[in-house]
Amino acid sequence: MQILHVSDTHLGCMQFNLKEREDDVYEAFNEAIDAAVKDKVDAVIHAGDIFHTPKPSGTAMLRLGEALKRLNEHGIRFFFTLGEHDISRVRDTPSPYVFHKLGMATYIGDGKPHIHKDMLLIGFHKHKKSESDDLRRKLRSINLADAKRRVLLLHQGLGEFHPYANELSMNDLPLGFNYYAMGHLHDHAMKPYGDGIVCYPGSIDPTPGEGIREFKKGFCIVDLSGSEARVDFIQVRSSRRHMEYVVEYERLGDLIKKVMDDAKGLKKKPLVAVRIKGKGIDSARIASILSRLNDICLHYTWEVEITSRASAGRLYNAKPDIDKELFALAKDVLANEDYANLAINELLPLLSDGDVDGAVEMIWKRFEESRSVMDK
Ligand SMILES: [Mn+2]
């Protein structure tokens, strides 16, 4: 029994708004599907955040559909749960669920036991942090059906893996599973737990929030034939290189040659992040020198680390992360992180799509929720 575990594919995601970056994601996803077919795995298990947005583009839908068609032609079933990126804030059929309805994939985020060959699969869709108690209760009341192999599928952050994403702790996971197929955290990591392994494959390609940094992205092929799960992390081969440089302001001119050398032989133009240190910095000069990177790389960002004493250690970003910046501004104005989150991460996406009804419905829902909390 062998499964391919993939997560956080964020199909349709477009880092830096570049079409090339969207295609990188599809290419990485197809590598996982190719591996599933080549290795004749018994199932593909997707741990959520299949799409980057709850309203994916036609292209993103098509890429998933094509992958599912291939898997079905090879008799490989695709099981999935939903991440927060797949779930619309308003009552609507989640996009990946369409493929379940059409019989091309199987949704197992319903908490019910699903038997596939001699394997028991139980999954839950993403639960918000405010719903953690509810999820804990559901996890405690899992009935372990008799099966040779057991896999639990979740899209949640575990505190032991990431201190800021601690929606649950590993101890909240029920014992008795051979493999805990996790999604949500974008870096690959795993830890033993009970008689099994808790594993995040991580995202298959860097998403906008991850910026430009060196990484290892991939998916897992998990052998469940023996008494212990054996996990093979397969790195995506087509990944576009991300390159980071720290350079003295005085020596900025040398950087271009260095990047050119490093980029030699790469199939895809890399993404480059430059951190500049020094004094008496003239940003017009930096911009002019770095513009020569346009021919070498797909996209570059730069920031300056000022080393004068007055502002030691202060970083300013020449091309700031707009999302982060917006959030910080909203937080300043509203003086409340929850409200800022509501405004930037929930309201703004709806309103920028022109979805006024959706926005009104979301606000109404939040109001009802807050009222029911006050009633308690
Ligand atoms: Mn994700």
Alpha-carbon distance of 308 to 313, in angstroms, equals 9
* Domain with residues 2-235, CATH architecture: 4-Layer Sandwich (3.60)
Q: Average the pLDDT over each of 92-96, 218-222, 323-327 and give the range with the smallest value.
A: 323-327
Q: Give residue-wise pLDDT tens across range 53-73.
A: 999 999 999 999 999 999 999
Q: Mean per-residue pLDDT for 351-373?
A: 78
Closest C-alpha to 260, from 248, 276, 243: 243
pLDDT for position 372 = 66
Q: Is 265 helix (H, G, I), strand (E, B) or coil?
A: coil
Q: Give yes or no for a contact between 104 and 68, defined as CB atoms under 8 angstroms apart.
A: yes
Distance 115 CA to ligand 1 centre (A): 26
Is the predicted pLDDT of residue 317 greater than 80, yes or no? no
In the chain, where are the structural domains located? Answer: 2-235, 242-317, 322-375
This prediction has a pTM of: 0.82
Q: Give yes or no for a contact between 310 and 284, defined as CB atoms under 8 angstroms apart.
A: no
Tokens found for residue 50: 């299949």
Mean residue pLDDT of the chain comes to 91
pLDDT for position 320 = 55
Distance 321 CA to ligand 1 centre (A): 18
Distance 244 CA to ligand 1 centre (A): 23
pLDDT for position 166 = 85
**241: DSSP letter:** P
Alpha-carbon distance of 122 to 10, in angstroms, equals 22
- Element spanning 290, H or E: helix 283-290
Q: Give yes or no for a contact between 297 and 324, defined as CB atoms under 8 angstroms apart.
A: no
Q: Give yes or no for a contact between 182 and 175, defined as CB atoms under 8 angstroms apart.
A: no
Distance 373 CA to ligand 1 centre (A): 28
- Element spanning 23, H or E: helix 19-38
Distance 315 CA to ligand 1 centre (A): 27
Distance 8 CA to ligand 1 centre (A): 4
Angle between helix axes 252-263 and 283-290 (nearest 10 degrees) is: 20
DSSP notation for 314-352 = -EEESS--HHHHHHHHHHHHH--HHHHHIIIIIIHHHHH
Distance 52 CA to ligand 1 centre (A): 8
Distance 7 CA to ligand 1 centre (A): 8
